[in-house]
Amino acid sequence: MIRVAIIDDEPLAHEILQEYLMEDKDIEVVGNYYNGFEGIKGIQETNPDLIFLDIQMPKINGFEMLELIDNAPSVIFVTAFDTFAVKAFEVHAMDYLMKPYSKERLSQALLKYRSFRNEPPELSNVAYASAESDILERVVVKTGNRIEVIPVHEILYLAAEDDYVAIQTPKGKFLKLRTLKTFEQMLDPKYFVRVHRSYIINLKEVTRIENYEKGGQCVWLKSGAQIPVSKQGSHRLKVAFDS
């Protein structure tokens, strides 16, 4: 028995999928969820083997939802956009169905799942940029049972902390299991600069830059925080402010 959940914000998308799946006696639909938040909660409760996931959804998109699930099930994306296919396979999706899709195409996807199910590919932890563009626009984090959606312009600075990145915002600090490097690649270089091995700062927050005696530098942020600047960082900072 394959236990399946559907996450899509359009009721009719659930209907057609359910209709197709019904004919397969081997499949049981254990949950219908209409946005990412319901999806996260539902998946934790019903623990399905496979999810059909839409990408464009309210508040958080399908990629962001996946980021927030521990031990995510196998995923088949179902969307009308063809622009996210590459990204979908980067996160090791099982398949990528484009609406409208035929019953045959769905069967193919399920066949693929069945042949892989005993050795499911690990969901990779690569950078998922926001679905809208390649530049990160918001970050989703989970603190306890709460999900925070942080627009990047609210980030004051990011600091590396062991395996995590601490995201400093006016609302407080949030931890995300990522490397600082992935953030450096995804954030808009016009606004975010890696000034140090362990720090990325938001340029709009900078109030002044101070020179130390031994040639080192540090930046002061509006929030009062002081961030050390490495030699390379000071060069990057100069380039960023000059452009």
Q: Does 230 bind other proteins (CB under 8 A)?
A: no
Q: Which lies closer to other proteins via its Cβ, residue 202 or residue 217? A: 202
Positions in 38-77 near other proteins (CB under 8 A): 56-59
Q: Does 151 bind other proteins (CB under 8 A)?
A: yes
From the list 49, 81, 127, 191, which residue makes contact with other proteins (rule: CB under 8 A)?
81
Q: Which stretch binds other proteins (CB under 8 A): 114-122, 145-153, 174-182, 206-214?
A: 145-153
Q: Which residue has the tokens 């990145």?
A: 165
Q: Does 126 bind other proteins (CB under 8 A)?
A: no
Contacts of 151 (CB under 8 A, 6+ apart): 137, 138
Q: Does 121 bind other proteins (CB under 8 A)?
A: no
Of 201, 157, 156, 163, whose CA–CA distance to 179 is shortest? 163
Positions in 12-41 near other proteins (CB under 8 A): 12-13, 15-16, 19, 34-35, 37
Q: What contacts 24+ positions apart, CB below 8 Å, involve 90-93?
A: 90/124, 90/126, 90/128, 91/63, 91/66, 91/123, 91/124, 91/126, 91/128, 92/121, 92/122, 92/123, 92/124
Q: Does 190 bind other proteins (CB under 8 A)?
A: no
Q: Which lies closer to other proteins via its Cβ, residue 101 or residue 220? A: 101
**Residue 81 CB, nearest approach to other proteins (Å):** 5
Of 125, 152, 124, whose CA–CA distance to 140 is shortest? 152
Q: Which lies closer to other proteins via its Cβ, residue 172 or residue 215? A: 172
CA-to-CA distance for 79 and 97, rounded, in angstroms?
6
**Residue 14 CB, nearest approach to other proteins (Å):** 8
CA-to-CA distance for 36 and 7, rounded, in angstroms?
7
Provide the binding-site residues for other proteins, judged by CB under 8 A.
9-13, 15-16, 19, 34-35, 37, 56-59, 80-82, 98-100, 132, 149, 151, 153-154
